[in-house]
Amino acid sequence: MGTFRSGGEAFRAGIAVRNIMDRHGMFRVKNKEARDAWLKKTLKALPAGHSILDVGAGECAYKKYCCHLDYVSQDIAQYDGKGNTKGLHTKTWDFDQIDLVCDVYEIPEDRTYDHILCTEVLEHVVDPVRAVEKMVRLMAPGGTIIVTAPFNSLTHFAPYHYCTGFSEYFYRHHFERFGCEIETLEPNGGFFDFMDQEIGRVRRVRKQFSGWLPDPLSLIIQLLARLNVRLLAALDGPRDRRKSSELQTFGWHVVARKQK
């Protein structure tokens, strides 16, 4: 069996493996992509003319799926893309499309909404249970709340990062306690999908915190490890019903309806 004659050859071989995996969809982790697809499907299915409040809307990424709805956005509008510079940040952030600039707990209750959208927000509020209770009050009877949030997240948008994530039991307990019936509760991937994402993050984290890029051999090992967990993920069942999701998932996709 031949050996690589130089570190450069090993590095190029690792890149070649990565490109092959990427072309065949074996390398990409579709955390955000899967979440966006679910939200697009869910939002576009809402009846035309209904009202929707996008809580913690940020840059209003999902407004484009709400063109048939009476869309209102809310955000506290304090994050600037840099935060306290610790953890993961976006560098820039634009709140120009926000209609209601206020804390979630201070959203006016002079009207109710047919639907509430709250996506990737609960980990950024100081009291997520109180936030859920507030959003339920803002819903019209028979209305729905559409929620996504991480199950386990790295520090991001600090210092506005107060919870690492939420399990299915958080949603089951609190939505039912506040008078809502859960209609959809499905995982976004499972344990092996999550491992794929974090193995893929190793190189960037090493560079961010040590300034040291991995050597060619480490890169090849990382690529092979990702290939292994990708194959295991494929054997774990459909993405929205991964058997291992009870142990780990990117997050839960939730729709709950307020009882009339």
- Within a domain: 1: no
- Can you give the pLDDT at residue 217? 82
* Cα 226 to chain centroid, rounded: 20
- Give CA angle at 127 (123, 133), nearest 5°: 105
The domain that holds 169 is classified in CATH as 3.40.50.150
Which backbone phi and psi does 223 adopt, to 5 degrees?
-65, -40
- Can you give the pLDDT at residue 183? 98
- Within a domain: 37: yes
Residue 228 domain boundaries = 7-27+191-238
> Do 18 and 139 fall within a single domain?
no
- The helices-and-strands tally (H runs, E runs) of the chain is 6, 7
> Do 96 and 201 fall within a single domain?
no
- Can you give the pLDDT at residue 16? 56
Query: Which stretches of 29-91 are DSSP H helices?
Result: 31-44
One pLDDT digit (tens) per residue for the chain, 260 residues: 444 445 555 455 555 555 554 554 544 558 999 999 999 999 999 999 999 999 999 999 999 999 999 999 999 999 999 999 999 999 999 999 999 999 999 999 999 999 999 999 999 999 999 999 999 999 999 999 999 999 999 999 999 999 999 999 999 999 999 999 999 999 999 999 999 999 999 888 988 888 877 678 888 888 899 999 999 999 999 999 999 999 999 999 999 999 98
> Do 16 and 124 fall within a single domain?
no
Residue 143 CA to residue 114 CA, distance in Å, equals: 5
- Can you give the pLDDT at residue 14? 52
> Do 49 and 105 fall within a single domain?
yes
Its pTM stands at: 0.88
Query: What three-state secondary structure class fits 113?
Result: strand
- Within a domain: 100: yes
- 159 preceded by cis ω (within 30°)? yes
Task: Count other Cβ atoms within 10 Å, centred on residue 145.
Answer: 26
- Can you give the pLDDT at residue 69? 98
Could you list the beta-strand ranges (E) of 91-250. Answer: 100-101, 113-119, 139-150, 180-187
- Within a domain: 169: yes
Question: What does DSSP say about strands 113-119 and 100-101: parallel, antiparallel, or unpaired?
Answer: unpaired
- Within a domain: 145: yes
> Do 206 and 253 fall within a single domain?
no
> Do 104 and 143 fall within a single domain?
yes
Residue 168 CA to residue 186 CA, distance in Å, equals: 9
Question: What does DSSP say about strands 100-101 and 139-150: parallel, antiparallel, or unpaired?
Answer: unpaired
- Can you give the pLDDT at residue 147? 98
Residue 212 CA to residue 179 CA, distance in Å, equals: 52
Residue 196 CA to residue 225 CA, distance in Å, equals: 8
- Within a domain: 11: yes
> Do 122 and 248 fall within a single domain?
yes
**How many structural domains are present in the chain?**
2
> Do 80 and 205 fall within a single domain?
no
- Give CA angle at 75 (116, 169), nearest 5°: 50
> Do 147 and 165 fall within a single domain?
yes
- Within a domain: 76: yes
- Can you give the pLDDT at residue 85? 96
> Do 154 and 50 fall within a single domain?
yes
- Within a domain: 72: yes
> Do 68 and 184 fall within a single domain?
yes
> Do 175 and 213 fall within a single domain?
no
- Can you give the pLDDT at residue 37? 97
- Can you give the pLDDT at residue 3? 46
| Nearest Cα residue to 29 out of 224, 192, 204, 167 | 192
